[in-house]
Structures are given as structure tokens and as C-alpha cells.
Structure 1
Amino acid sequence: MFRRTFWFTAGAAAGVWATTKVNRKLKQLTPESLAAQAANKAIETGHRLKDFALDVRDGMVQREAELGDALGLEAPVEQDRALPAQRRLAALPHKHSYNRNEDY
């Protein structure tokens, strides 16, 4: 008798557990639930993409600063050293320009 009661109770508990699992799964598969899950995944993906873009931007700024330091582009200009004067090419006046397409 004790054995029958044990197996009856175990079967009833398994049935309740299985029914609860099936009902939860059915609620997860309703259109409203699926839409909410998709929206949550989209929002999560958007946040991850934003974080990735910010990390890339930070890396770009850091690398640009490293390159600027390496090339001396960020170096301050010394006050006592003046910039060189702007050079201009002197245009020599030509009496006659040569054009090989002209007939002489």
C-alpha cells in the first residue's frame, strides 16, 4: 500500500510539474510575448552597437593622439623661433614660349 501511495504521489507531482512547464512555454509563444522578446533583443543589440561605436571612437582618438605625438604634430610652437618666410617662385619672363605643336 505504501508503494502505491508513493508512486501515485510521484506521478501526480510529475503531472503538475509538466503541466506548469507546458503552460509557461505556451505563454512564451503567444504573439504578444514573442513581440516583447524581439523588442527587448533589438534594444539590447542597439545598446551593444552604441557601446561598440563609442569604443571605436575612443580608440580612434587615442590612436590619433599617439600618431600626433610620434610625428610631432601636437608639439607647441616655440615663441622665440619665428616661422620661415613664405617662399615665392620668381617667374622669369620668357621672350618666346616654346610650343612643339606650333609650326615654325
Structure 2
Amino acid sequence: MKRLLWLGVGLAVGALVVRKLTRKANEFTPSGIATSLSQSAGGLVESMRNFVDDVRDGMTEREQQIQQAFAEGELYDDEHDAQEGNR
């Protein structure tokens, strides 16, 4: 009876090991590498989109600040600090 139990445990562990090794081996096939690269490229594209959106939001905010200062007759120096005065 013990031998049958250990045989079952051995078969289960062996099946799990074979499944894990098969998955790892598939990652190194051309199709597995292509899948991995496409997922990485997709993540990179999404990161770039987020960056561009952040830059556009910053540009819009800065443009509004400049337009508001211009409407109020303020001057901005190189440090972007508002200064009142005329040119």
C-alpha cells in the first residue's frame, strides 16, 4: 500500500515538473520569444503614451499660466516667477 502511495506522489511530482519545464522551454522557442517581445513592446508603447500625455498636460497648464499672466500684465523671468512691471 505504501509503495502505491509513493508511486502516486512520484507521478504527480513528475507531471508537475514536466509541465513547468515544457512552459519554460516554450518561452525560448521563436513563437515564445515573439510573444515576449510583443508584450514588452506593448508595455513600452503604453509608457510612451503616458509620458506624452503628461507632457501635453504640463504644456497646457503652463500655457494657461502664461496667458493669464499676460492678460494681467505680468512679466515672467527665466525662473518662471511672476513679476509685475512693464517692458
How high is the TM-score relative to the length of structure 1?
Answer: 0.60
Report the number of matched residues.
Answer: 72
| Structure 2: distance between partners of 1:9 and 1:68 | 77
Runs ≥4 residues deviating over 4 A: none
Structure scoring higher RCO (CA < 8 A, sep ≥ 6) equals: 2
* Correspondence for 2:4: 5
Q: Which has the higher helix share?
A: 2
Question: For the pair shown, which has the larger CA radius of gyration, 1 or 2?
Answer: 1
The percent of aligned pairs where both chains have the same amino acid is: 29
Residue 36 of structure 1, CA deviation: 2.3
CA distance in structure 1 between the aligned counterparts of 2:59 and 2:22, rounded to whole angstroms: 51
Work out the CA distance in 2 between the residues paired with 1:6 and 1:55: 61
Aligned residues: CA RMSD: 1.6
| Structure 2 partner of 1:60 | 59
Q: Which amino acid aligns with 2:13?
A: A
Match of 1:46 in 2: 45
Quote how far apart the aligned CAs of 1:21 are.
Answer: 0.9
Displacement after TM superposition at 1:58 (Å): 1.0
Residues of 2 paired with 1:24 and 1:12: CA distance?
18
Structure 1 unaligned blocks of 5 or more: 76-104
| Residue aligning to 1:29 | 28
Structure with the higher fraction of residues in strand conformation: 2
CA distance in structure 1 between the partners assigned to 2:5 and 2:57 by the alignment: 65
